[in-house]
Amino acid sequence: MRFYIGCEIEAVPNWRDILPPVTAPANYKNPEKIAAYIADMTDKLEFGDAAKGSLSGMISRAVLITPGAAGDPAAPDTPELLTENGQPKIVLDTSGPGAGPEALEYMMSAAEVHTVTDLENLAIFGIDIRRNARLMALQYIHTGHSLPYHLHWAVDFEADFGYNRVPGFVDPLHVLFGRASDWRGKESARDPIAAGLRLGLPVDPEDAESMAVFAFQLLARLGL
């Protein structure tokens, strides 16, 4: 069974207590430059970067899409995207502190995954899927529960359930563009907006449903 997943992230409420204090590089000597650097880095954390951290971020909304059976109606507001099996449909749209664990558990139950050998029946596609899977796993164990063996794929424990492999979890932007770099050749984050413009596909990185549909469209273009 395959899922296309889109996620929205936010910083955990106490991210300031979790992350180390911002400090300027050791070669900064001018007090004004040090203060400006700290202020700039703090602003970046405040307005988005803290949400991306493996310790300070969490999934605030998760949307799961699967290819629908022939004749199934598309979900409301979902583009009319046809696959060889019919139309994709939203099967889960969950938000709040438990969004990540709920998405994990839904995928496991829907695909009837109870043991590691069942994982061959599951493929998960999404933008930044490795980061998002780890955030889901972190939220799961934050509830005080141990991560079940059949969820170890979320933190890439299983050699047979590898990143960018099928069965496995696949980031189509990683498949298409490899290691991200900007026009100067420096490594940078893969930008869904830029990829969407390049490929003529609409995408809103701030909307989980849009990201799930975007992953679906990219995989359709790749013929997967």
142 confidence band (pLDDT: 50, 70, 90): confident
* 142 and 126 share one domain: yes
Asked if residue 42 belongs to a domain, the reply is yes
Q: What is the Cα gyration radius of the chain?
A: 19
Give the Cα separation of 52 and 10 in Å (integer).
Answer: 8
Helices 99-110, 129-142: crossing angle, 10 deg rounding: 100
Q: Mean pLDDT across the stretch 57-75?
A: 79
* 122 and 215 share one domain: yes
Identify whether the C-beta of residue 124 lies closer than 8 Å to the C-beta of residue 110: no
* 48 and 67 share one domain: no
184 confidence band (pLDDT: 50, 70, 90): very low
Whole-prediction pTM: 0.82
Site of tokens 């696959």: 83
Q: What is the per-residue pLDDT across 157-175, written as a single tens digit (0 to 9) for each? A: 666 677 787 777 888 888 8
Domain that holds residue 35: 20-52
* 81 and 170 share one domain: yes
Asked if residue 15 belongs to a domain, the reply is no
Give the Cα separation of 125 and 104 in Å (integer).
Answer: 13
pLDDT at 201 over 70: yes
Tell me how many domains the chain contains: 2
Give the pLDDT of residue 6.
95
Identify whether the C-beta of residue 159 lies closer than 8 Å to the C-beta of residue 117: no
* 115 and 35 share one domain: no
Give the pLDDT of residue 191.
81
* 68 and 90 share one domain: yes
Asked if residue 216 belongs to a domain, the reply is yes
Asked if residue 83 belongs to a domain, the reply is yes
Asked if residue 14 belongs to a domain, the reply is no
Asked if residue 210 belongs to a domain, the reply is yes
pLDDT at 180 over 60: no
* 128 and 170 share one domain: yes
Asked if residue 114 belongs to a domain, the reply is yes
Task: Determine if the peptide bond prior to 167 is cis (ω within 30°).
Answer: yes
Q: What is the per-residue pLDDT across 5-17, written as a single tens digit (0 to 9) for each? A: 999 999 988 888 9
* 182 and 96 share one domain: yes
Identify whether the C-beta of residue 78 lies closer than 8 Å to the C-beta of residue 90: yes
Q: In the beta sheet, which residues pair with residue 93?
A: 63
